[in-house]
Amino acid sequence: MTILQEQIINGLTIGSFYALVALGYSMVYGVMKLINFAHGDLFSLGAFLGYTVLTGTSGVVTRMFGLWGGIACTALVVGLSVAIAGILMERIAYRPVYPSGRLSLVVSALGMSIFIQNAIMAIWGARPQAFAAAVVPSTRLTVLGIPVTVLQIIILAVSFLLMAAIWFIVEKTAFGASIRAAALDRETATLVGIDVRKVIFFVFALGPGLGGIAGLMNGLYYRSITFNMGWNYGLKAFTATILGGIGNIPGAMLGGLLLGIFESLLAGYVSGAWKDVFVFLILILTLIFRPTGILGEKTAEKV
Amino acid sequence: MPDLLEVKNIVLDYGAVRALDDVSIGVGEDEIVAVLGANGAGKTSLLRAVSGLHRPTSGTILFKNQPLTDIPAFELAGRGVAYVPEGRRVFGTLSVKENLMLGMYGVRRARQARQLAAQEERVYSLFPILKERRNQLAGTLSGGEQQMLAIGRALVSSPELLLLDEPSLGLAPIIVNEIFAMIQKIHREEKVAILIVEQNARKALKIASRGYILELGKVVLEGSASDLSTNPKVRAAYLGSAAGSDAP
Amino acid sequence: MDITKSLLDRIAKAGQDHEHKREAGNDAGTLRRARNRKRLLVVAIVAIAIAPFFPFVDDYWIDIGFYFGIYTLLGLSLNIVLGEVGLFDLGHMGFYAIGAYTTAILNTALHIPIMVLLPISAVAAGLFAWIVTAPVIHLKGDYLCIVTIGIGEIVRLTMINNPFGLTGGPNGINGIDSPMIFVPIISSRQFYYFVWALIAIVIFGLVRLQRSRIGRAWNYIREDETAAEALGVDVRHYKLAAFVLGAAIAGLAGNIYASKQMSISPESFTFMESSLLFCIVLLGGLGSIPGTVLGALAITIFPEIFRALAQYRLMFFGLALLIMMVFKPAGLMPRLRESGEELRSTLSKRRRGKKATLGDERHEVPQEHQAPSLLGDALLELKNVRLSFGGVTAVAGFDATVEAGKITALIGPNGAGKTTLFNLITGIYKPETGTILFKGKNIAGLPPHVIAAQGIARTFQNIRIFPSLTCLENVLCGQHCRGRAEFTGSLFHVPSQCEEEKTMLDFSLRCLERVGLGDSMDNLAASLPYGKRRSLEIARALALCPDLLVLDEPSSGLNDVETEELAGLLLSLLHEGLSILLIEHDMHLVDMVSDHVIVMQSGRIIAEGTMRDMRKNPLVIEAYLGTEED
């Protein structure tokens, strides 16, 4: 029984990474109609920046602020830096290309992904890096008879808080309505007085910011990170986005968590080697049988 | 002399195509002005230039004697120019209420909070059907209702100038009559100046005080609505054979 | 769907920009460009042929030339799917892998010769593509893109997991033989010529396909899938065909690659490689064969030139992609559309002396249409047709008859279900109950392209033309389902295919002339002013030789004078024996042309008869016409 519960907790943790990354995909997709292939690499960037702040400074941050304080500070630094990277990415790679069409945008996004991935490799090297044991909390607890680590609880709590905050902003505030309006029709949004550039700025700051923090938490969770890990997480997170319903914020969260649990159960009970094959099969089956995702609404095509 | 909106000698190019060539028009504070012309004559381009969606290559656009040419498009709504785009373009997956709320987005925050409810009510009193549907998604409204919502969305920002692009497009005759009656009512009761672009020249000239005829990006004729509707050239080119027998 | 629409808008825009440039440089410019391309082709062929004999070209560079060839082959294969049909395929390496592994497994396990495996690999990759894409082919834009990424990854992961010990796991398969063409092909130079000879054959075939009924069908789908389907193109069939053909060519490349390397492993078939292919096609120019070759060259040469940068190489490569997209979004060598004259001349090369110009020599054209029924007979009958969307009834038990040789107008308030009814008649929706009899046959629930082929042609409320094709090519779409030529015919220019093409060209030109667009046949549709786009749409529908023309708000956006011209056209079509059903809000037009008016409200008929009767009908006045203004 405990194996099942452990797998589920583990799945929820991985799922919350997917969900955070999926949120970024979903928001960017909504406003730009672009699968931002570089988004997964921003996740890696977050992990590596976090590694440098926590381990690369030989633990100064941890000594100054304590174990949890250090992690909180690092999260702040990582979130902000990756958000800035996201904004720069939009300025450099997407804004100039936007007028020339969606296919060019896809190539631009692929180019950006290659660039970031190789920049990380050039800076931090091709071999995996590991977070020092001293900066990672290792306290274990038993909650309701299930063994968990404190880190898992914190990861879940932080993820849920962040997701709830995003959901509130997008669905319940006037600014959120302006984001949704800009996603539907940029030009008309401009005409009613929405500064679409501001919306894009926000989306490209928030999505990557969340992705960066997810990357940091992933690094803390697994401790080992590699320069090209973002691609796999990115693809999984995009699968989660589709599973939940593209452009749908609660959908992205639900999709991420479900995918995490599913993957973890597959790895535990079926086969670790084949789990990714099953994940992609699920993706394809979802698209065949419920292309709008679990929470997506059916929209009739206008002819 | 019209003084609310003055468009002076504007030229607008799309790539190698010249859409507007030295066009000058004006709208006075208490006017409905119609711009007529064939397809591709530049009517919509003119409205897009005024609203800042396209920057003219040369020429000036003054609104209340302030140049509009350097102001970003999204700031225009806050300054009293509201645009009802061709084909309505309501935000389909947002509710009617949210659509109206977004209409006030460009208005200063403080004013917005104070007035939102009042403005919403104002629109509902003009278009009672929208009140019934206020929690419905805009995309589920019928064409006529969407047109009302698009006009309502423009009105909540209390504009001084309303730009209407083909409000009758694709609507049933009974709805077209209703919309045109409503435009007149809005003009009268809300004291809004209106610049209207219409394919339906007959209807537009009926409510307008003055009009311009655009051909291939140039103003070829201007005058009072009554002069234009009796001008034989206009009748031949835009009003068709039914113009004489007024019953359509 | 929003995604597809915005994509098409963009393509249209790109086409427009292109057209502007063309206009700026006028006809002479286009001609010069075409001639330059011809010269470039000769230079390229000579360069590729003699390259290995230059003194400074050693085996290393010849190998690079070989990999340039492999990428060219792969680029060409993806260009069919992505460039011609506009399907986002980011998992193309999966098909390449299937080809390579088929060769490797069969060669090492059963010792089948490589040259025998060449066609087998192509067939295996094509078959695999058919199996995996058939269930997902209906997905659009980014959704299909994600599925292809998934397929590519599934293939790669499966190879790594070594099912049944077949694929050798992460280490792959070693010891693959060399091909034999009379002599064993071993040296770099031999492989170089082998791959380029194959490319020459492939390009020859692809150019022929591009200029055939099939290539055009692909382009129609890319431009506007719904319109293509409604005008008689079997969208599903042609999309699948593109995937199968693309995969088969990739399978060929896989075979050659495996035999040259003598070993393969899953590392060669990553997503990164698939995205490189995607970039090749986009760098070169969507649908452009010379562009694809150039794109492949750029991708192969880049890492060699920047070898000194070592580990920063790929980083700069990413940046280079960005820069390209900013400054040359349409690609290095965008596809040029052939003029009607060029299409014509490729068909009658053998009799060059005669030099028939298009339209000069009138071919026996299929009967403009065979009025199958007499005036007043029921052409289209709807019985108890019903459709609802999520509980909302759009069309509720509808009974109506459209008589042959008449113009029937369908009017009613917005949201009455008129367009839905049109979509039912033309097969875009399937009715829940009821029958739709056309010429006595039930067409309810048939796919749109089948209904179109039976003789119902339509136009759309918001004009749907194919923006980046020429006007003539637009109209040829209507003739598509009247043609028979499939792949073999188009590839080998069999006489029946040539005759058929000529007939289609002539007839389409006549349809263009019919609506007054004869002079614009070689202009891109995107360059037409709005009013003429309507005419083009009507010409395209006429080219189908329909019995029934179904027009959705044809006067929308036209002023009164233009509307009267339209009325004239409709009446003259009527006199030629065509029957017409139209949705209209312009009562002036309905007055002028209609014999019979059906008034619809909330999915039901509330009145029918002549327009004069309708004006007096209190129900119609209340629901639709309103009391006269003022």
Contact B103 A187 (CB under 8 A): no
Contacts of A108 in chain C (CB under 8 A): 321-322, 325
Q: How far is A253 from chain B (nearest CA, A)?
A: 20
Q: What is the mean pLDDT of residues B48-62?
A: 91
> What's C274's domain CATH number?
1.10.3470
* Domain residue ranges in chain A: 2-289
Chain C contact set for A284 (CB, 8 A): 135-136, 147, 150-151
Backbone φ, ψ for residue B182 (5° rounding): -65, -40
pLDDT, chain C, mean:
86
Query: pLDDT-based confidence at C6, cuts 50/70/90?
Result: very low
Residue B244 burial (10 A CB sphere; 0-12, 13-18, 19+): exposed
Total Cβ atoms within 10 A of residue A242:
31
The alpha-carbon gap from C311 to the nearest alpha carbon of chain A, in Å, equals: 7
The pLDDT value recorded for residue C14 is: 44
Q: Does the beta carbon of A22 lie under 8 angstroms from any beta carbon of chain C? A: no
Burial bucket for residue B72 (CB in 10 Å: 0-12, 13-18, 19+): exposed
Q: Is B17 on the interface with C (CB under 8 A)?
A: yes
Q: For residue A165, what are its two tokens?
A: 């905050």
User: What integer pLDDT is reported at residue C28 of this predicted model?
Assistant: 56
Question: Residue A303's pLDDT is what?
Answer: 46
Determine, for residues B240 and C561 on separate chains, whether the beta-carbon distance falls below 8 Å: yes
Query: Chain A residues with CB inside 8 Å of C314's CB?
Result: 114, 117-118
- Chain B residue numbers with beta carbons less than 8 Å from the beta carbon of A192 are 77, 102-103, 105-106, 153-154, 157
Return d(Cα C545, Cα C541) in angstroms, integer. Answer: 8
> Of the candidates A177, A187, A297, which has its C-beta nearest B102's C-beta?
A177
- Match 């590729």 to its residue by tokens: C48
Q: In this predicted structure, what is the pLDDT of residue C1?
A: 36
* Alpha-carbon gap: A37 to the closest alpha carbon of chain C (Å): 10
User: Which sequence spans correspond to the domains of chain B?
Assistant: 5-241
- CB–CB contact A101 C147 (8 Å): no
Query: Residue B38's closest chain C neighbor by CA?
Result: C559
Domain B5-241, what architecture? Answer: 3-Layer(aba) Sandwich (3.40)
Map tokens 């083909």 to a residue.
B166
Maximum alpha-carbon separation in chain C: 93
One of 3.30.70, 1.10.3470, 3.40.50, 2.60.40 is the CATH number of A2-289, namely 1.10.3470
C-contacting residues of A 242-271, CB under 8 Å? 242, 246
pLDDT at site C235: 95
- Residue C355's pLDDT is 42
Contacts of B104 in chain A (CB under 8 A): 193
Q: Does residue A118 belong to the interface with chain C, where contact is any CB pair within 8 Å?
A: yes
Is the pLDDT reported for residue C603 higher than 60? yes
C563: chain B residues, CB-CB within 8 Å: 240
- C370, pLDDT greater than 60: no
How confident is the model at residue C8, as a pLDDT? 40
Q: Which of A104, A280, A303 is closest, CB to CB, to C325?
A: A104
Percentage with pLDDT > 90 across chain C: 54
Query: What type of residue sits at position C182?
Result: F
Do the chains contact at B101 and A195, CB–CB below 8 Å?
A: no
Task: Evaluate if residue C9 carries a pLDDT over 70.
Answer: no
- What is the C-alpha to C-alpha distance for residues A202 and A28, in angstroms, rounded to an integer? 10
As a whole number of Å, the CA-based R_g of chain B is 18
Q: What is the mean pLDDT of residues C243-255?
A: 97
How far the first Cα of chain C sits from its last, in Å, is 41
DSSP letter, residue B42: S
Q: The dihedral of CA C20, C23, C25, C28: what is its sign? A: positive
pLDDT at position B227: 92
pLDDT in tens, C186-216: 899 999 999 999 999 999 999 999 989 999 9
Q: Which of A76-80, A242-246, B210-214, C277-281 has the lowest mean pLDDT?
A: A242-246
User: Which of C271, C300, C335 is the last residue in one of the domains?
Assistant: C335
* Three-state SS at C460: coil
Q: Which of B90, B136, B177 to mutate to test the interface with C (most CBs of C within 10 A)?
A: B177
C588 compared with A45, residue with greater pLDDT: A45
CB count within 10 Å of CB B48 equals: 25
Q: Answer whether C229's CB lies under 8 Å from C76's CB.
A: no
Percentage of residues of chain C with pLDDT beyond 70: 90
Residues facing C400 on adjacent strands: C382
What is the pLDDT, as a whole number, of residue C12? Answer: 45
Quote the CA–CA distance of A12 and A158 in Å, as a whole number.
13
Asked if the C-beta of C272 comes within 8 angstroms of chain A's C-beta atoms, the answer is yes
Q: H/E element holding C43?
A: helix C26-50
Structure tokens at A266: 């597959």
B40 backbone φψ class: left, alpha, beta (φ>0; ψ -120 to 50):
left
In the predicted model, what is the mean pLDDT of residues C413-439? Answer: 90
Please name the residues in contact with C358: beta carbons below 8 A apart, sequence gap of 6 or more.
Answer: C340, C341, C343, C344, C505, C506, C509
Cβ of residue A143 closer than 8 Å to a chain B Cβ = no
> Which one, of A66, A76, A82, lies nearest residue A135 by Cα?
A66
Q: Inter-chain contact A287–C329, Cβ cutoff 8 Å?
A: no
pLDDT tens digits for range C449-475 = 999 999 999 999 888 999 999 999 999
Read off the amino acid at residue B97: K
Q: What is the DSSP letter of A193?
A: T
Residue numbers of the domain that contains C515: 378-625
* pLDDT score for C78: 97
Q: What angle do CA C463, C467, C471 make, to 5 degrees?
A: 95
For residue C560, pLDDT beyond 50: yes
Contact residues, chain C, for B248 at CB < 8 Å:
587-588, 591
The C-alpha R_g of chain A, in whole angstroms, comes to 19
Mean pLDDT lowest for which of A244-248, B36-40, B107-111, C49-53?
A: B107-111
Question: What is the arithmetic mean of pLDDT over C517-545?
Answer: 90
* Measured distance between the N- and C-terminal CA atoms of chain B, rounded to whole angstroms: 35
Q: What is the mean pLDDT of chain B?
A: 87
Q: Cβ-count burial of B67 within 10 angstroms (0-12 exposed, 13-18 middle, 19+ buried)? A: exposed
CA distance linking residue C247 with residue C96, whole number of Å: 7
pLDDT, average across residues A238-250: 85
- Same domain for C459 and C315, yes or no, is no
Whether the per-residue pLDDT at C87 is higher than 90: the answer is yes
- Give the model's confidence band at C356: pLDDT under 50 very low, under 70 low, under 90 confident, else very high: very low
Q: Which chains touch A (3 or more CB pairs under 8 A)?
A: B, C
Interface check for B232 against chain C (CB to CB < 8 A): the answer is no
| DSSP string over C299-361 | HHHHHHHTGGGGGGHHHHHHHHHHHHHHH-TT-SSPPPPPPHHHHHHHHTGGGTTT-PPTTTS
- pLDDT over 80 (residue A38): yes
Beta bridge mates, B58: B11
Residue C531: band (very low, low, confident or very high) from pLDDT cuts 50, 70, 90 = confident
pLDDT of residue B157: 87
pLDDT in tens, A95-110: 988 888 888 888 899 9
As a whole-number percent, the residues of chain A with pLDDT over 90 amount to 55
Interatomic CA distance for residues C368 and C248, integer angstroms: 40
Structure tokens given for A51: 């590694």
- Cβ neighbors of B241 (< 8 A, separation 6 or more) are C560, C564
- Which of A248-257, B82-91, B103-112 shows the lowest per-residue confidence on average (mean pLDDT)? B103-112
pLDDT at C129: 97
Which DSSP helix (H) or strand (E) runs through C389?
strand C378-389
pLDDT tens digit string along C22-73? 443 345 566 677 778 888 888 999 998 888 888 888 889 999 999 999 999 9
Nearest CB to C282; choose among A104, A113, A288: A104
Q: Do A191 and B53 touch (CB under 8 A)?
A: yes
Tokens for C598?
A: 């059906």
> So what's the pLDDT on residue A78?
96
CA distance C471 to chain B (A): 18
Helices and strands (DSSP H and E) totals, chain A: 11, 4
Cross-strand bridge partners of residue B60 = B8
CATH number, residue C589: 3.40.50.300
Q: Is the dihedral of CA C108, C110, C112, C118 positive or negative?
A: negative
Chains A & B: contacts with CB separation below 8 Å: 67
Rounded-to-integer distance, Cα C260 and Cα C545, Å: 53
Among C300, C335, C370, the domain boundary falls at C335
C-chain CB neighbours of B181 within 8 Å are 629
pLDDT single digits (tens) C585-596? 888 899 999 999
Could you tell me if C16 lies within 8 Å of chain A, comparing CB atoms?
Answer: no
- How many domains are contained in chain C? 2
SS3 category, C621:
helix
Task: Decide: C455 and C496 in contact? Cβ < 8 Å.
Answer: no
Lowest pLDDT segment from B157-171, C224-238, C557-571: C557-571
**Alpha carbon distance C192, C202 (integer Å):** 15
The pair of structure tokens assigned to B120 is 């919403």
Which of B143, B180, B236 is closest, CB to CB, to C415? B143
> Which of B14, B54, B55, B74 should we substitute to test contact with A (largest number of A Cβ atoms within 10 Å)?
B74
From A98, which residue of chain C is nearest by alpha-carbon distance?
A: C326
Nearest to C222 by CA among C451, C50, C467: C467
Q: How far apart are CA A151 and CA B120, in angstroms?
A: 49
Rounded CA gap, A41 and C314, in Å? 14
Whether residue C584 lies inside any domain: the answer is yes
Instruction: Decide if A187 touches C, using CB distance below 8 A.
Output: no
Comparing CB atoms, the residue among B170, B173, B178 nearest residue C587 is: B173
C630 domain residue, yes or no: no
pLDDT for position B245: 40
